[in-house]
């Protein structure tokens, strides 16, 4: 008995066509869902034991195989749907209905099997990708020989154009890309935490020279001073560690911890010789050391205090572990040594600023977009901008902020008045948390 296509009921053909369109929608949507999965969230879910995520991760390890499998299925159902549509058109209206049927099928597939499922998958990739992974894994094992043939031919063709599968395996996020991810995290990461994460990313670009306390601002113990003055200075100092030198910081002896000095003072045995004995050896670091490296160096050397030297071995200043951590978490307002002595808010909303103020501290405190890759102090920045030593009363606009020079001393700018235009800077005191 011969069974012809004309003997197949139209109802069966319509049901088959509907099923094929649904399968086409599944292949199209799952392809978009799998390819738009967040790889880092996928890895996290897989490591947490999520079965769908584990299967999806295994499939995405070889995206060429996955795409080959999906396209094989998608093209097969689309071609079969086209053939059934042709049969239905011939049965209902003959050849005159073929063109209209082709147009209707194209429209239906475009809307219901392409645009709609792909849009849904792009908006909610996990909801479709994870269930689809349970279908694709056994299907891939079943059709692996056919997929292998297709991939071999396509990969060979790509190699003619210089494209290799190995190129996709080494893609990692750059620092700037990671910065973008953090900034676009929105409510998932609190603003304060975002700021800290971004600061950590910037540590590699900042050196100890950028954050050091310059030598002329360093509080230390000069053993050439009378012992009474040394004791008074120890009692008045808010710092936990002080450099000890003779005459000049270039003649450094060591670093004195306040608790050691206090213990000797309580015992009544604090003398200059005792200070020499309880001092720790000085720890020197080059000026160009990145903060990421210096943080590890502090940890390895079990130090909190370092003297920064230039290429000739001259001391430029000091840097502490607290200074470094402040680049990540901001100023420690509970520490009396962490006040901002270079910044004095005025009633009119302006600030009086010392010319010796660190450019990076000013930029962070006032939200002032100052260049941080040049001079380290506001005085240096003004001199570089004007290319001359200005007179008091000179006004200029520096990185968008009006600046008025109030006082000069010798060859340096001593005090300036800054008029912040940033709402952040104008709306709160500089030391407010």
Question: Same structural domain for residues 224 and 164?
Answer: no
CATH number for position 306: 3.10.580.10
For the chain, the first-to-last Cα distance in angstroms comes to 90
Of 335, 370, 388, the last residue of a domain is: 335
* Cβ neighbours around 97 below 10 Å, total: 17
Residue 37 burial (C-beta neighbours within 10 Å; 0-12, 13-18, 19+): buried
Domain with 312 in it: 206-335
User: Does the predicted model carry a pTM greater than 0.85?
Assistant: no
Determine the 3-state secondary structure of 207 from DSSP.
strand
Question: Same structural domain for residues 315 and 394?
Answer: no
Q: Is residue 192 in some structural domain?
A: no
Tens digits of pLDDT across the chain (433 residues)? 444 656 678 888 889 999 999 999 999 999 999 988 888 788 888 888 889 888 998 988 888 888 889 989 999 999 999 988 888 888 887 777 788 888 888 899 999 988 999 999 999 998 899 999 999 999 989 988 888 888 888 878 877 877 665 555 545 666 676 777 777 766 667 777 777 787 777 777 888 888 888 888 888 899 999 988 888 888 888 888 999 999 888 899 999 998 888 888 888 888 888 999 999 999 999 988 988 899 899 999 889 999 999 888 889 999 999 888 888 776 655 443 344 557 788 888 888 988 888 887 788 777 788 887 778 788 888 888 888 888 888 888 888 888 998 888 878 888 999 987 654 444 444 433 2
Residue indicated by tokens 């790889």: 39
pLDDT of residue 341: 59
Question: Same structural domain for residues 224 and 292?
Answer: yes
Question: Same structural domain for residues 215 and 311?
Answer: yes
pLDDT of residue 244: 93
Question: Same structural domain for residues 119 and 234?
Answer: no
Alpha carbons 202 and 358: distance in angstroms, whole number: 17
Question: Same structural domain for residues 417 and 283?
Answer: no
Q: Is residue 176 in some structural domain?
A: no
How many Cα neighbours within 13 Å face the side chain of 249?
21
Of 126, 152, 170, the last residue of a domain is: 170
Alpha carbons 318 and 211: distance in angstroms, whole number: 9
H-only helix segments in 124-271: 125-160, 175-183, 191-202, 208-211, 227-236, 258-266
pLDDT of residue 243: 93
Between helix 125-160 and helix 10-35 the angle, nearest 10°, is 80
Strand partners of residue 285: 308
Q: Is residue 179 in some structural domain?
A: no
Q: Are strands 221-222 and 241-246 parallel, antiparallel or unpaired?
A: parallel
> Which long-range contacts link 313-318 to residues 24+ away (Cβ below 8 Å)?
314/250, 315/215, 315/249, 315/250, 315/252, 316/209, 316/212, 316/214, 316/215, 316/287, 317/212, 317/213, 317/214, 317/215, 317/217, 317/218, 318/212, 318/213, 318/215, 318/218, 318/243
Of 154, 170, 186, the last residue of a domain is: 170
CATH number for position 389: 3.30.465.10
C-alpha distances in Å from residue 143, one per residue of 5, 57, 73, 77, 283: 28, 19, 10, 15, 66
Question: Same structural domain for residues 64 and 91?
Answer: yes
98-107: buried (b, 16+ CB within 10 Å) or exposed (e) per residue? Answer: eeebeeebee
Residue 83 CA to chain centroid, in angstroms?
53
Alpha carbons 254 and 67: distance in angstroms, whole number: 66
Q: Is residue 191 in some structural domain?
A: no
Q: Is residue 298 in some structural domain?
A: yes
pLDDT of residue 173: 63
Query: What's the CA dihedral at 387, 392, 396, 402 to 10 degrees?
Result: 140
Total count of domains within the chain? 3
Q: Is residue 344 in some structural domain?
A: yes
Question: Same structural domain for residues 254 and 324?
Answer: yes
Question: Same structural domain for residues 127 and 49?
Answer: yes
Question: Same structural domain for residues 275 and 146?
Answer: no
Q: Is residue 285 in some structural domain?
A: yes
Q: Is residue 345 in some structural domain?
A: yes
Query: What's the CA dihedral at 226, 231, 235, 237 to 10 degrees?
Result: 50
Alpha carbons 212 and 92: distance in angstroms, whole number: 87
Question: Same structural domain for residues 388 and 352?
Answer: yes
Alpha carbons 376 and 361: distance in angstroms, whole number: 10
Report residue 115 as tokens. 């645009």
Which residues have C-beta within 8 Å of that of residue 40, sequence separation ≥ 6? Answer: none
pLDDT of residue 311: 86
Backbone angles phi, psi at 356, to 5 degrees: -85, 0
pLDDT of residue 171: 55
Question: Same structural domain for residues 44 and 79?
Answer: yes
* Cβ neighbours around 232 below 10 Å, total: 12
């Amino acid at each position: 008995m011969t069974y012809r296509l004309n003997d197949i009921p139209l109802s069966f053909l319509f049901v088959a066509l509907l099923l094929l369109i649904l399968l086409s929608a599944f292949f199209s949507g799952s392809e978009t869902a799998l390819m738009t999965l967040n790889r880092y969230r996928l890895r996290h879910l897989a490591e947490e034991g999520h079965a769908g995520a584990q299967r999806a991760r295994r499939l995405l390890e070889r995206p060429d195989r996955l795409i080959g499998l999906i396209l094989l299925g998608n093209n097969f159902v689309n071609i079969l749907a086209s053939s059934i549509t042709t049969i239905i058109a011939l049965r209902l209206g003959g050849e005159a209905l073929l063109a209209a049927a082709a147009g209707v099928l194209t429209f239906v597939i475009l809307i219901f099997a392409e645009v709609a499922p792909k849009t849904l998958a792009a908006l909610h990739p996990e909801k479709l990708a994870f269930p689809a992974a349970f279908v694709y894994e056994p299907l891939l094992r079943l059709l692996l020989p056919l997929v292998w043939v297709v991939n071999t031919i396509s990969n060979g063709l790509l190699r003619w154009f210089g494209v290799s599968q190995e190129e996709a395996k080494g893609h990692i996020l750059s620092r700037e890309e990671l910065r973008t991810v953090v900034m676009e995290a929105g409510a998932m990461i609190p603003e304060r935490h975002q700021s800290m994460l971004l600061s950590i990313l910037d540590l590699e670009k900042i050196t100890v020279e950028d954050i050091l306390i310059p030598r002329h601002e360093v509080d230390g113990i000069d053993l050439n001073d009378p012992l009474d003055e040394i004791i008074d200075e120890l009692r008045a100092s808010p710092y936990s560690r002080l450099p000890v030198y003779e005459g000049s910081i270039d003649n450094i002896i060591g670093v004195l911890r306040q608790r050691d000095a206090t213990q000797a003072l309580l015992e009544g045995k604090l003398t200059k010789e005792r200070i020499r004995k309880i001092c720790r050896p000085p720890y020197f670091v080059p000026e160009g050391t990145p903060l990421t490296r210096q943080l590890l160096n502090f940890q390895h050397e079990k130090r909190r205090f370092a003297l920064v030297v230039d290429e000739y071995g001259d001391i430029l200043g000091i840097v502490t572990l607290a200074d470094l951590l402040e680049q990540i978490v901001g100023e420690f307002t509970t520490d009396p040594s962490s006040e901002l002595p270079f910044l004095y808010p005025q009633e009119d909303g302006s600030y009086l600023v010392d010319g010796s103020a660190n450019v990076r501290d000013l930029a962070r405190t006032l939200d002032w977009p100052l260049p941080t890759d040049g001079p380290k102090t506001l005085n240096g920045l003004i001199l570089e901008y004007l290319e001359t030593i200005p007179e008091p009363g000179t006004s200029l606009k520096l990185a968008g902020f009006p600046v008025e020079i109030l006082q000069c001393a010798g060859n340096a700018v001593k005090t300036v008045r800054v008029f912040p235009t940033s709402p952040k800077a104008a709306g709160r005191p500089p030391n407010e948390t």
